[in-house]
Structure 1
C-alpha cells in the first residue's frame, strides 16, 4: 500500500521558486499601496456565520469551523451563530470598521493581503484557498466621489509594476445603467441588470429573449439595452455614444459624469501593460454596489474571467446610527499567478535565496567555511555552505541546480576566490568586503516570451 499522499484539489501549494514570485508580487503591491498612504491590516480568519451569510448568495461556499469532538453544547453544523472561514476580505473589513470606528482616522485608507477560503468547484484560476489583495477607502457618513478615482488609479499603478501579462481595467457605473433602464421605461431595472450581466455567458439573442420574458421589456426596449451594453471606449467618447441613443434620465447623467471622471482620472497610468476601458455591459454584483464598478482582466487569459474587481458601497458598514460608505478593488493574487506558473510563463531564476555557495576542500574545513559564510551574511549576502565535501565539480553542479550564481573557494594557502558559474569568471575576494552586483542579491522573477496557450 502506497504512503504517497493524495493531492487536495483547490488548495494550491507553491514550489520555492514559485513562492518567491508570489512574495515579490506581494512586496511590490504593498510598497505601492503604502506610497499612497494605505495602511495594512490583517483580520482574523473566521467570522460569525450570521455575518458571512447575510448576503445569502455564497451560503453554499462557506466553510464552517467546528471542533472534531464537538459536544452537544458546542455551536456546530450550519447554525448561523457558529463560525466560518471568510470567503472574501470585504465582510471581515466591514466588521473591522464597525468594531474599531472610534480608533480609526477617516478617511481610512486600508490595504489587506491575506488568504480566503471558498468551497466552490475547483478549476483553473478558482481555488478553495487563495490569496488576494484589497484596497479600500472608507469614510463616515459621506464619501466624496474623488476616492472612486483614487482607488482605480492606485490599483492600476500597483498592477503595472508586477510581472504579469498586460491587464485591462473595465469600469462602469450603476447609476448610468440604472438611469438608462429607467429612461426607457423599464419597470424593474434590477432584473434588467441581472439579465444583462449574463452577456459574457449567453449569446445576445438569448439575453434579449430573457429581457422580454423575465424583465417585461418590449423588443424595442430589449434592443436599446443591448445597444447600451455594446458600448466600450478607452476614453470619454462613450458619453456621446450613450447620448446618441436618445434616452434621458437624471440618474443617467450623473452616472455618465462619474464614469467619465474615473476614465479621465486613470489616463496617467495607462501604458502598454495596463489599459482602462469603459465597458457598459459590466454589472458585477450590483445588489451591493451603488456607483462605480470595476473588473480586472489579464489580456490573453480572458478564459479566467475577471482576476479582480470591486466598486463603491454607500453602506459598506452601519451600526444603526452611523453609516460608513466605501470604495475599493480586490486583486486575485492566486487567481492570476498560479495559472501563469503552471504554464511555465512565470518563475524565478533560483530555487533558494542563496547568492553564494561556500565550497569545502574537506570536512575538516567546514568550521572555516562556516566562518566565511557568517562574514558574508554580516553584510547582507545570503549564502550557504556546501552540504558535503565532494569534488569541486559536484559542488558546482549542486549550486547550478539551485540557481546559486557564485561559488566561494578557499586555497590551501588561505587565499579566497569567488567564481561566477554563469560566466566562468573567477577572481580574488575578501569575505569581509566582497559583494555581488545588486541584481544578484535576490532571486529575480523570470517571465517567458513563449506563446500563451489559452
Structure 2
C-alpha cells in the first residue's frame, strides 16, 4: 500500500532520474566539487538548533528502546544536507584542504504535509564551499552559475534563480528602527503563503512594527529586477544603514556575474528570505517557468556561523537542488519521460530452447561492445518475441541464423548483421530522455 509522501518511481521514471543525476553529478565535477556522503542521522539536539521545528524531524529509535532515554541521546533523520555537512567539517577539518568544495546527493527526511512535488522522503543534490575563518564573496557569485549549467543541460522548462541578501533586509529593518530583524525576516518569508495584508498585520503584532514600518517592509519586498537596478530602487525608499549598503553591493555582484554568464538566469527578488535561521547573507531560490505556483525547486545561501571548532569558524555558501521535487512536478504534468522503460537496446530472439546457449553467446558479444542486450525469455513465436520487445520500447530484435539478421521493429527494416561488428545508431543505444 502506498504511503503518502514517500515516492517510488516506475522503471521508466527511474531511467529519467538516473539521467538527471548523471547530468547533475558531471556538472558539479566540472566545477571541481568532490563527492561526499554523510550518515543519515544526527543528534536531535543538533537538528533542532538549526532552525527546523521539532514537528518536522523524524526520530530514529529501537522498538525496545528504554522510555527513559534523554533527549541528548536521541537521533533524528537529517532534514537537509547542510547541517550534516557542517558537522562533518568540524569533525574532519584537520584532514581537509580549504576552501573545501563538496557535492552530496542523498535522501533526506522532513515531516511536512505531502503535496504535489513535496515529499517526506526526498532526494537532494547539494554543493557547498567552506573555508577556514573567512570565505571570499566570489563563491556566492559562483553558485548560480553551476546551477544554471545543470538546468540548461536538462530537457526541462527554463529555470530562474531568485536571489536576495539577508544583509539588505536586516540593514533595511535596522534603518527603519526595527530591532527584532529575525522575526521580521520570518514574517516577510510568509508573503507568498498569506499575502501582504496579513504579513503587515503580523509585523505589527509580533515584531513591534508601526503601520508605516510594516508598509516600508512590504515596499522593500516588492522590489524585483533582472539587473542591478534594484540598488537605486532600494535607495529611493530613503532608508540608510551600513549593513544595507554592504548587502546591496554583494547582491549586485551576484546579479551581474550571472547576467554575464547566462542572461535571464537570475532575478533579484527582495522578498526572498529562506526559513532556516543559519543563513547570514546571500540567499537563493529557484523557480521553473510555468511551475511558479509550486514554489522553489532549488535553494540555499551563505552561512557564517554554522560550523566552528573553538575559536575557528568555517563559513560556507551552498545551494541544493530538490531532485525528487523537480521530478515529481514534471512527472505529474507528463513533462519529462524516457523513450523506453528498460535500458535494453536489443532482444536476441530465441528460435528454440536448445539454441539458448547460441543466443547467450550473441548477447555476450554485443554486451562486450557496450550494447545493452537481453535474450528473449521463452522460445515463443517470433511475433510474440517482437511484441515482447515492442511493449518495452526496445528498438531491435536479433534473429540468429546463417547469417544472423537484426530488425528495427519501428521501421520494419531487417539487415544481415555480425555481433562482432554491428552497432546501432547512437540515439538508440540508450534510452533518450525528453521533455515536453
Cα distance in 1 between the residues matched to 2:209 and 2:46:
36
Work out which of the residue numbers 413, 418, 427 in structure 2 matches 1:439: 427
Work out which of the residue numbers 238, 259, 273 in structure 2 matches 1:246: 238
Map of 1:451 onto structure 2: none
Q: What number of residue pairs does the alignment pair up?
A: 436
Cα distance in 2 between the residues matched to 1:49 and 1:246:
44
Matched, 1:223 2:212: no
Alpha-carbon shift at residue 56 of structure 1 (Å):
5.5
CA contact 1:157–1:269 (8 Å) conserved in 2 = no
Cα distance in 2 between the residues matched to 1:335 and 1:374:
39
Q: What secondary structure sits across from 1:101 in the alignment?
A: helix
Matched, 1:357 2:347: yes
User: Under a length normalisation based on structure 1, what TM-score does the superposition of the two structures give?
Assistant: 0.92
Unaligned runs of 5+ in 2: none
CA contact 1:108–1:137 (8 Å) conserved in 2 = yes
Pick closer, same or farther for the CA change 1:7–1:213 going to 2, 3 Å: closer
After superposition, the C-alpha distances for 1:136-174 in whole angstroms (9 at most, x for unaligned) are 000000001111011221122112212222211100001
Map of 1:281 onto structure 2: 271
Alpha-carbon shift at residue 320 of structure 1 (Å):
2.0
Work out which of the residue numbers 290, 299, 304 in structure 1 matches 2:294: 304
Q: What secondary structure sits across from 2:190 in the alignment?
A: helix
Map of 1:427 onto structure 2: 415
After superposition, the C-alpha distances for 1:5-39 in whole angstroms (9 at most, x for unaligned) are x2111111111110011111111010010001000
After superposition, the C-alpha distances for 1:366-412 in whole angstroms (9 at most, x for unaligned) are 1111110001011111100011111111111110111111111123x
Cα distance in 1 between the residues matched to 2:388 and 2:276:
55
Cα distance in 2 between the residues matched to 1:128 and 1:285:
18
Matched, 1:382 2:377: no
Map of 1:136 onto structure 2: 128
User: Under a length normalisation based on structure 2, what TM-score does the superposition of the two structures give?
Assistant: 0.96
1:8-27 to structure 2, matched below 5 A, reads 8-27=3-22
CA contact 1:167–1:275 (8 Å) conserved in 2 = yes
Unaligned runs of 5+ in 1: 1-5, 449-454
CA RMSD, aligned part only? 1.7
Work out which of the residue numbers 24, 30, 36 in structure 1 matches 2:25: 30
Map of 1:61 onto structure 2: 56
Cα distance in 2 between the residues matched to 1:174 and 1:289:
8
Cα distance in 2 between the residues matched to 1:422 and 1:223:
64
Cα distance in 1 between the residues matched to 2:106 and 2:306:
20
Q: What secondary structure sits across from 1:201 in the alignment?
A: helix
Cα distance in 1 between the residues matched to 2:213 and 2:49:
34
1:274-353 to structure 2, matched below 5 A, reads 275-285=265-275, 287-353=277-343
Map of 1:42 onto structure 2: 37
1:400-419 to structure 2, matched below 5 A, reads 400-411=390-401, 414-419=402-407
1:78-157 to structure 2, matched below 5 A, reads 79-157=71-149
* Dislocated runs of 4+, deviation >6 Å: none
* Structure 1 range deviating more: 402-411 or 79-88: 79-88
Matched, 1:190 2:182: yes
Q: What secondary structure sits across from 1:171 in the alignment?
A: strand
